[in-house]
Structure 1
């Protein structure tokens, strides 16, 4: 299966409500994709991708890094935000203005005004990588939404409800798609199904996901 690089139809680019407080903005980032991608090498030069471990000691299949005032980390001490990259001992690289401005516009388009992210968690998925269903609950204030941007290969995003056993909807996400959830959906379970081989995008078979949050 090959990812189509043609522009989506107008219908596919219309905001789609997934659940109360959760919106899919199909193709929202396409006009800005080149500019957003150009911001990544400078971040990765300071804070390269790495595979963190869970508190139980399991190596995460998805490689990740951060930019912003804080960065999300996981190790045997638990899940948390830190001002310093534990791999380098340096502060996380600053969030490029182009990324912060984009996240604010996406949140606004989904009905959340005044979003000011201080964290951008960057995940790299390769074929077979997945992200188990989980809630984002390490932030101090759940009044702020989550903005999730997909770049590169396509993937199936899993979006459930406030309880782990709630029905899960599978949403195909393509290059330039954005999902925003907040309000009553802020603590809904979500994840990513295993990335299927054979996808082709701007990074070959790799998917890059940028998740913007207000953590401090």
Structure 2
């Protein structure tokens, strides 16, 4: 990693769900933005997936390690061949994020993180309330924000509705959710276009890198 990680004190949003503001410094943010641009040139590029009900997701997405589409993982990108490999750099970041959020020897620190979903939000994009439940491993999800600020809505494990907490995620922020919060519903109801610091390397839009452990055998 090209720059030490730092930030404000961790903030517990719910048991197992922790927000660490400003965890990535500006150099580390810029490095990740450049890596995302390179990854976006991979097999199939960034796609807007169709949902089983016939809708089209407003975010554009590429996956590394495993290809994701609603609501399953595979090793092949439809029409484009094998999925791009999962970068060790992101696995290292995920484990460092666990330590920053939970301290000590956090759950999942030795987990085999093997997939990253990279979402790009333009000014009109949003993400409905959903659970991350395609993974077999009960390992915390690590989420990194780059670019424009968003409202991240973090809910409960039973329903898409209340109770939930709205958290403002800025470029460089870390959000981790595991344990009793691992299957909580969450989403992004809106972003703030033009709020990014251009020094991060992204002048418009928001990138979200979500790092997970599928628990599935390779191959």
Question: Judging changes above 3 Å, is the alpha-carbon distance between structure 1 residues 34 and 203 closer, same or farther for their aligned structure 2 residues?
Answer: closer
Unaligned runs of 5+ in 1: 1-9
Q: Are the aligned partners of 1:125 and 1:206 in contact in 2 as well (CA < 8 Å)?
A: yes
The C-alpha deviation readout for 1:80-118, integer Å capped at 9, x for no partner, is 001111141x21111222222111110222223223311
Shift of 1:187: 0.6
Determine which of 49, 53, 58 is the counterpart of 2:55: 58
With normalisation by structure 1, the TM-score equals 0.86
Q: Residue 80 in 1 paired to residue 62 in 2?
A: no
2:32 equivalent in structure 1: 36
Shift of 1:194: 2.0
Unaligned runs of 5+ in 2: 1-5
Question: Judging changes above 3 Å, is the alpha-carbon distance between structure 1 residues 197 and 29 closer, same or farther for their aligned structure 2 residues?
Answer: closer
1:126 equivalent in structure 2: 122
User: RMSD over aligned Cα, in angstroms?
Assistant: 1.7
| Mapping 1:84-123, distance limit 5 Å | 84-88=76-80, 90-111=81-102, 112=106, 113-123=109-119
The C-alpha deviation readout for 1:150-209, integer Å capped at 9, x for no partner, is 001110100011121331111000000010000011011110012233433432220000
The C-alpha deviation readout for 1:38-64, integer Å capped at 9, x for no partner, is 322331121311111000111111110
2:3 equivalent in structure 1: none
| Mapping 1:1-216, distance limit 5 Å | 13-30=8-25, 32-47=28-43, 48-68=45-65, 70-74=66-70, 79-88=71-80, 90-111=81-102, 112=106, 113-141=109-137, 143-164=138-159, 165-201=161-197, 202-215=201-214, 216=216
With normalisation by structure 2, the TM-score equals 0.85
Counterpart secondary structure, 1:32: helix
Moved over 4 A (4+): none
Q: Are the aligned partners of 1:152 and 1:203 in contact in 2 as well (CA < 8 Å)?
A: yes
Counterpart secondary structure, 1:107: helix
User: Size of the alignment, in residue pairs?
Assistant: 199
Cα distance between partner residues in 2 of 1:128 and 1:61? 8
